[in-house]
Structure 1
């Protein structure tokens, strides 16, 4: 797990502001946890090969999302290699153990399938139970092939694909792009996408907008000062994210990562992973494909300097922002009315809080995955002090940003 490209995923920094703590933090319920990830492949021979060949050492859980019925889905981008059985899965209970079942099916997760999913990191389930699947296209850091970088809409109710857009060369750089996460506006029929741009130096981060109705997309922002590394470094539980290499610091650089849409759909927020600025743009501007890059970059606003860098983020219908806090081992909340950033929850058991997701009844889900240990090849797959992968649930009773 010491591939050089992977080590560009992990140098995050946090600022110097003090983050006010909420009086009564929500309870963190563990929904599922694993020391090593296990698949339900409906094929005993394939499952045995997965175990015998220790493919599980190559698998990192990144994202989790929840549908209206409470089913949980997870992403495992193929950063570790093509041997990973599936890059998108549904959690199924087998006895007392949660297993990953390829979703929507094994064929679509076949890395050799020209139309299949190669490396899914970010995805979202909208209010209509349509899953918007963002495929990075890169397997183990290799340049993506034709049609590999794409956005797929999958209707969970009908079990059918309802949209597909393959990013062209004007949208993404097939060597440099690192398509990261998505936010959905069902009212306007728009998907907002972050690109961390990590495979090149200097970075080539960006923000993209996809119009569902016209099946067209545009890269609306690539200005380095807004979507790239902010030259920060950081520690998790006192440990540098990346080990020094050849006696030199081995800090990572990552651009636009966490992305969220305000409850009124008027504002798009994002953060750069190696940075601590909360940035925004008016959605009316970037939905208008006639606007040029100069007009867009002039409208970027620095909303706040955060007390921690962040990976995943989301918002509720009232406009409050929820952001994972890597340096604080938890989740931050930014109040929509006051702009005050508070520590929603923190725990020594949380290590690299990755993504956030809304579930039924306004529950907020959180993935903790020890990504920094996996990147450095130091993950203990036998007897870790805390399970390597956890999905937590917080019962907030809030209304998700994408609700009607």
Structure 2
């Protein structure tokens, strides 16, 4: 999930009934028996997994079914940034100390080894969870020494590597957004949804990272698109609309094709990953639009409409798409079977479906971050914005491909 184009005020810490007790944050209020109910028109089953007292964005599920979530410091100084959800509790992850950074204490706590403003958590194929920290509280200035990608070994629940990003990768105005990992564990791919969109390619063995397609049309907001919500253009109090650049990102199961798109956009783009990894090892890298070679390898896959989270599911190789304007999740085929996206789940409770994860049994998880209800767009919004985590299981209609097509745009 993205960043606005200017700063926003940080609100005071508000635990909203949750208190840090030892190493656990009491409450997300795990939905104990929220009845699973069919969510038309796709026939899939939508079930609430948990309620949170704060604004959630990222979610991931490890190979053994452990669930992790994160809470960015957007309009509040969140009391926890990264947590494991278990036994109805949020446990700060990997520990309370890594979650000890606060905007009010930024001069007393190191940004290098604490969570500053975490945007994404993603499990890889090697038994680790990676945490992406753009380190831009309130989606404003990037905190010095804060941008990083951190590997946590789930055998020990301890950080194994910290890959720090300098200003060549995460300059002021950037907001590193989401990340995907090559199946062989050698490369990471990141979107930057900030003021000037880009992709970042990371060699995980050396820690070397390069910013590519910086300013390329494929990574920028589409000026012809106006993001709407509840039937009206979504605007901040000063009249500005949604301007988020390259945001959602997905990787094919074989690791050969990368997909992305801007929220303020309708077009899904792709590129062969060997073009990106080749650029990572090149001796000289042209910047931005001067990079004609790489830009020329970008392909248009099709139109999704404004979208946030993307994931290519291991279970079927199809692309799943969150559609905030429609309170929906869409699905589309890729490759030779590529067509228009179809609605899988549409439900009024999916207020800004944000980020996906896939469980080991093929269940999809999606967070609802309620961005349109936040203080960025509603000055009277609560300091702590309630949000949710949902699971989606395909129903007979989805399994047979008989979902309703998404509305034409």
Same fold (TM over 0.5): yes
- Counterpart of 1:26 in structure 2 is 44
1:129 Cα offset (Å):
2.4
Number of equivalenced pairs:
342
**What RMSD in Å do the two structures reach over aligned CA positions?**
2.6
The answer to whether the aligner puts 1:204 opposite 2:203 as a matched pair is: no
Change (3 A) 1:215 1:324: same
- Counterpart of 1:223 in structure 2 is 215
Partners in 1 of 2:380 and 2:353 — Cα distance? Answer: 18
Structure 1 stretches lacking a partner, 5+ long: 8-20, 38-58, 198-202, 399-404
Deviation larger for 283-292 or 326-335: 283-292
Correspondence for 2:55 among 46, 56, 60: 60
Partners in 2 of 1:101 and 1:76 — Cα distance? Answer: 13
Partners in 1 of 2:210 and 2:73 — Cα distance? Answer: 26
Partners in 2 of 1:278 and 1:6 — Cα distance? Answer: 29
- Counterpart of 1:74 in structure 2 is 69
- Counterpart of 2:180 in structure 1 is 183
User: Any residues of structure 2 matched to 1:74-113 within 5 Å, and which?
Assistant: 74-81=69-76, 83-93=77-87, 98-111=88-101, 112-113=109-110
Partners in 1 of 2:138 and 2:236 — Cα distance? Answer: 20
Partners in 1 of 2:83 and 2:272 — Cα distance? Answer: 34
Correspondence for 1:390 among 388, 391, 397: 388
Partners in 2 of 1:101 and 1:378 — Cα distance? Answer: 30
Correspondence for 1:134 among 115, 132, 146: 132
Change (3 A) 1:223 1:142: closer
Q: 1:381–1:388: 8 Å Cα contact kept in structure 2?
A: no
Q: 1:236–1:329: 8 Å Cα contact kept in structure 2?
A: no
- Counterpart of 1:46 in structure 2 is none
Change (3 A) 1:204 1:24: closer
Partners in 2 of 1:263 and 1:225 — Cα distance? Answer: 26
- Counterpart of 2:372 in structure 1 is 372
Q: 1:369–1:390: 8 Å Cα contact kept in structure 2?
A: yes
Q: 1:236–1:352: 8 Å Cα contact kept in structure 2?
A: no
Partners in 2 of 1:104 and 1:354 — Cα distance? Answer: 23
1:244 Cα offset (Å):
4.5
Q: 2:227–2:242: 8 Å Cα contact kept in structure 1?
A: no
Structure 2 stretches lacking a partner, 5+ long: 10-38, 102-108, 399-409
The answer to whether the aligner puts 1:238 opposite 2:231 as a matched pair is: yes
Superposition TM-score, scaled by structure 1 size:
0.78
Deviations 1:79-103 (A, max 9, x none): 124x42221111243xxxx443211
Q: 1:107–1:113: 8 Å Cα contact kept in structure 2?
A: no
Q: 2:42–2:343: 8 Å Cα contact kept in structure 1?
A: no
Which portions of structure 1, spanning 4 or more consecutive aligned residues, are displaced by more than 3 angstroms? 21-24, 377-382
Deviations 1:33-61 (A, max 9, x none): 24xx1xxxxxxxxxxxxxxxxxxxxx411
Q: 1:356–1:367: 8 Å Cα contact kept in structure 2?
A: yes
Q: 1:236–1:351: 8 Å Cα contact kept in structure 2?
A: no
Partners in 2 of 1:23 and 1:348 — Cα distance? Answer: 13
Deviations 1:205-238 (A, max 9, x none): 1100111122211112213412111022122222
Superposition TM-score, scaled by structure 2 size:
0.78
- Counterpart of 1:44 in structure 2 is none
1:162 Cα offset (Å):
1.9
Q: 1:366–1:392: 8 Å Cα contact kept in structure 2?
A: yes
Partners in 2 of 1:151 and 1:144 — Cα distance? Answer: 15
- Counterpart of 2:302 in structure 1 is 304
1:142 Cα offset (Å):
4.3
Deviations 1:88-132 (A, max 9, x none): 111243xxxx44321111111121233211011122111222111
Partners in 1 of 2:347 and 2:8 — Cα distance? Answer: 26
Q: Secondary structure at the match of 2:329?
A: strand
Q: Secondary structure at the match of 2:146?
A: coil
Change (3 A) 1:240 1:264: same
Deviations 1:327-359 (A, max 9, x none): 221111111242121111111221101111011
- Counterpart of 2:337 in structure 1 is 338
Partners in 1 of 2:392 and 2:148 — Cα distance? Answer: 32
Deviations 1:285-306 (A, max 9, x none): 1011216532111111111022
Q: Secondary structure at the match of 1:226?
A: helix
Q: Secondary structure at the match of 1:80?
A: coil
